[in-house]
Amino acid sequence: MKIDISKSLFEKAQQFIPGGVNSPVRAFKAVGGDPLFIKKADGPYLYDEDGNAFIELINSWGPLILGHNHPAIKEAILKATELGTSFGAPTAKEIEIADLITQMVPSVEKVRMVNSGTEATMSAVRLARGYTGKDKFIKFEGNYHGHGDSFLIAAGSGAITMGMPNSPGVTQGTARDTLLAPHNDLKAVEELVEANKGEVAAIILEPVPGNMGLILPKKGFLEGLRKLCDREGIILIFDEVMTGFRLAPGGAQEVFDVTPDLTTMGKIIGGGMPVGAYGGKKEIMEFVSPTGPVYQAGTLSGNPIAMAAGYAMLKHLHDNPSIYQELDKTGGKIVGGFKDTLQRLGLNYSMTHLGSMFSLFFTDKEVVDFETAKSCDTQLFGKYFQAMLSRGVYLAPSQFESFFLSTAIKDEHVQHIVQANEDSLKEVLDIY
């Protein structure tokens, strides 16, 4: 594979940008080699500056559930740009998207738009603290909620990929109010709440974590958290930045039928533009400024182009619910193909799958939390990543990320991906 142009761009980028990238996981540090510089994308394909084409399973880290350049979204963006790029004032489109979100996610009675998932989670926890008058909150090991200070403790995604689950720069004072629990361990959470009785404002979690690879909730875990929060007056926050509008129109809360008090959203909600949102019970959301005392603002929040893209995306999903069955089928075919290969090659690596998300973990343990996720052979993953790349399949460059499907992936791509997986495993494990 020719990568001369990407290589020289990366050299130049490092002169002006820390590590040559604007988000750490993009640097390929965990998988070796230099990152590819992307020139364009269409449907299921990414094209790099050297002219290589890849079927991709990242989709911009989740947002592009319809693949690249979907006509409905492209048209909405182009139309919106004709009217201006930013007004810093209310628009009709903001009402339309808020209305649609409340229909698709019934636990969200009111919603505030922000510019990223990070802003959404920071704001939701501030709101929970302001509303309850309590300072502490519980997060789960290996869950990732963006790069707000109080979340960079035992964080998943790029933080663990870079070997920095606890980031320097987060003060001890901040860290003290973040209580940590092992994911999927209800008893540990109950004990933590008991030990901090009356002091916990919120429990925040990815209901289906995708930031230590894809991990499924154990039976009764989400329901148990709901009961605990009700009993103790704690705000339950589902961080659905990744799972929202991806696992179902109403996200993981619809799939598992557990209703949080607040939900954070991002990725798909912006149709590929930088958008986040948080919403929930009217009574809690009324606590946000200007109706309430909890301050939160944004110069570009509700940006008209981003709202147009997000609305077009959500409307398409809302009007075409069969998309979710289609994605689940595609996921089933790929995961089924991978599992067949693993069996034939006598390998017992662990796999998880839900709808349009899946993971291949290079460990024989069942991956249910941060500890088991960390048992993966990350060096082997790096070799596998490179082997897949050389066969035209672009994966997330880390063992601690989920793979994402889009509707642009059809049967011919599935076949290519399954074959590439078999050939890559044989290559990296020296199986002939």
Residues in CB range of 125: below 8 A, 6 or more apart: 137, 148, 150, 201, 202, 204, 237
State how far the Cα of 353 lies from the Cα of 330, in Å rounded to an integer.
11
Residue 261 binding: pick among ligand LHPZP3FS, ligand PLP, none (C-beta 5-8 Å cut-off by kind):
none
Beta partners for residue 110, in sequence order: 280
**Should residue 61 be labelled a site residue for ligand LHPZP3FS when binding is judged by CB under 6 A?**
yes
3-state DSSP of 102-142: HHHCCCCCEEEEECCHHHHHHHHHHHHHHHHCCCEEEEECC
The size of the interface with ligand PLP (CB under 6 A), counted in residues, is 14
Q: Catalytic: 267?
A: yes
Q: How far is the CB of 287 from ligand LHPZP3FS (least distance, A)?
A: 27
State how far the Cα of 176 lies from the Cα of 180, in Å rounded to an integer.
10
> Strand 45-48 to strand 110-114: parallel, antiparallel, or no bridges (unpaired)?
unpaired
Which residue sits closest to ligand PLP, CB atoms considered? 117
> Strand 38-42 to strand 350-354: parallel, antiparallel, or no bridges (unpaired)?
unpaired
> In this complex, which beta carbon is closest to ligand LHPZP3FS, that of residue 23 or of residue 343?
23
**Should residue 348 be labelled a site residue for ligand LHPZP3FS when binding is judged by CB under 6 A?**
no
State how far the Cα of 317 lies from the Cα of 381, in Å rounded to an integer.
33
Given 136, 145, 226, 281, the residue binding ligand PLP (CB under 6 A): 145
State how far the Cα of 193 lies from the Cα of 337, in Å rounded to an integer.
43
Catalytic residue among 48, 239, 261, 369: 239
> Where does 82-236 have alpha helices with state H?
92-104, 117-132, 158-161, 172-176, 186-195, 221-232
Given 146, 213, 279, 280, the residue binding ligand PLP (CB under 6 A): 146
Residues in CB range of 301: below 8 A, 6 or more apart: 112, 113, 114, 115
Residues shown for the chain: 432
Given 28, 54, 144, 221, the residue binding ligand PLP (CB under 6 A): 144
Catalytic residue among 29, 93, 136, 267: 267
Beta partners for residue 203, in sequence order: 138, 236
Which span (65-73, 131-139, 142-150, 380-388) binds ligand PLP, by CB under 6 A? 142-150
**Should residue 118 be labelled a site residue for ligand PLP when binding is judged by CB under 6 A?**
yes
Q: Catalytic: 144?
A: yes
**Should residue 275 be labelled a site residue for ligand LHPZP3FS when binding is judged by CB under 6 A?**
no
Binding map of ligand LHPZP3FS across residues 145-184, x = CB under 6 A, - = no contact: ------------xx--------------------------
Q: Catalytic: 349?
A: no
**Should residue 116 be labelled a site residue for ligand PLP when binding is judged by CB under 6 A?**
yes
Binding map of ligand LHPZP3FS across residues 197-236, x = CB under 6 A, - = no contact: --------------x-------------------------
Question: Using CB under 6 A as the criterion, which residues of the chain lie in contact with ligand PLP when the complex forms?
Answer: 116-118, 121, 144-146, 206, 211, 239, 241-242, 266, 276
Which active-site residues does the annotation give? Answer: 144, 239, 267
